[in-house]
Amino acid sequence: MNPVFVFLLLFVGIPVVELYFMIQVGSEIGALPTVLLVLFTAALGGFLVRLQGFSTALRVREAMERGEVPAIEMMEGALLLAAGVLLLLPGFVTDGVGFLCLIPTIRRALVLWFLKRTNVIWPASRQHPRTPPDHRIIEGEYRQEEDE
């Protein structure tokens, strides 16, 4: 995908969509309730991100104490950071996406989908991509005998 198109979508497309929905909601419930609703979702989102962040940090700590690498938990933490940013941005669409990222099962599914898509983890049915399909490994023992 063209990087210029991505930046155009991020910095022009998303604000235009947010403005459209804010105008639609404002025409239904009024300007002041719309502003208060946007502020309420930002405050609620910040509170929920803080709670989820502490929970994720505790899971990272527990995994490290067990001697495991907390990779998935760290990715969930990054997704929580993105959710926090989305919730602090004014608008209803970004708030909806941010609140979806706060649901643990959806967040874990997104992390696993990303890791599978980037070939970081592989399903058990699929062979490791760095191993050629016709390459076979035969394990065994050997000994070298010297000719006399």
Q: What count of other Cβ atoms lies within 10 Å of the Cβ of residue 139?
A: 4
pLDDT given at position 124: 56
Does residue 51 lie in a domain region? yes
Does residue 3 lie in a domain region? no
Does residue 7 lie in a domain region? no
Mean of pLDDT values over 128-136:
57
Does residue 133 lie in a domain region? no
User: What does the chain come to in residues?
Assistant: 148
Does residue 87 lie in a domain region? yes
CA distances from 140 to 80, 137, 143, 145, 146 (A): 48, 10, 10, 16, 20
Does residue 110 lie in a domain region? yes
Q: Which domain holds residue 45?
A: 33-117
Does residue 125 lie in a domain region? no
Number of folded domains in the chain? Answer: 1
Does residue 46 lie in a domain region? yes
pLDDT given at position 24: 95
Angle at 89 between CA 85 and CA 93, to 5 degrees: 100
pLDDT given at position 130: 53
Percent of the chain clearing pLDDT 90 (strictly above): 51
**Cα(7)–Cα(100) distance, rounded to whole angstroms?**
23
CA distances from 77 to 19, 35, 54, 66, 130 (A): 29, 29, 10, 19, 29
- DSSP secondary structure letter of residue 73: H
Structure confidence by residue, pLDDT tens digits, 52-105 = 999 999 999 998 899 888 888 899 999 999 999 999 989 999 999 999 999 999
